[in-house]
Structure 1
């Protein structure tokens, strides 16, 4: 695996994937994959999304916001791309929860549903765990997962995260406070 470091433009190449922040030139590819999502396959899959407001200018502002979040060490947002043909497969984010003395972050992941069941999630998350440790210098990474999101639970376990607890009333979703499972890995 090969890392190319820029100030906030880390790129990592795995066997099948390229993981890096979005760039302005990704717009057409990014939009195409969102527009070609299948209908929702379970409650935590948004399925098809209205992308009508997502113009090139809107996307460029999104890229700028991502860069600013990374520059200020708040959130690192990575696109997941197919190494072979450059197809945008999904996104992974790492959000800083606390730095000194904890070096603690949470992360989330999504693969477009038309690309599910190809092992991309496991490969991408495994690499982002490495990036979090080696490049971003986090010690602890957590995934906060809905109690019945079995696909995310399975992925967390397959990449070596351990179940820690259920946090009661932890995240405000769909106009209510809901419990979440906490899976973690000390890096």
Structure 2
């Protein structure tokens, strides 16, 4: 996937591809809203190029108007390194996105620098902890101590905390005990198409 994304960014194709992904998400949200289905918000990753693209706001406004969806059902994920690149302009962009009613998540948290220094200033709703912290996670390990600090700080700031890359029950148990709000990873589920997702949900709540 990283080779694919790198190639798309170098050619500039990542921008139209990113807007295509946003439209697909809006179409699906519209279907679920009209069916009165219970669903979690759909998260879409924004590349650095797309985050800084001048057409971002006009495209989002057009999609929200076209599909008439509730904006809070859409989450935009921006990597920590993207948010920190030009911090002042990032804050202005994030504020404008939130004024549209869209939720914002910082992805891959912990891979950049000056994270804690700027975290209090970033107008975001969710923090996604990078899977690198989970690889060697054991009870009473340094990784556990670091995760505890991140989770408690984020919670104090009113942020939802999600751990990425959860693959073992032990990781899930430790993260849950530390107060992590959401878990994401192959332990809980692998990528599926919409039909399989709906079927799984029907079986789960049957």
Q: TM-score, normalised by structure 1?
A: 0.35
Name whichever structure is richer in helix by fraction. 2
**Which TM-score applies when normalising by structure 2?**
0.33
Which of 1 and 2 has higher RCO (CA within 8 Å, sep 6+)? 1
Q: Select the structure of larger CA radius of gyration.
A: 2
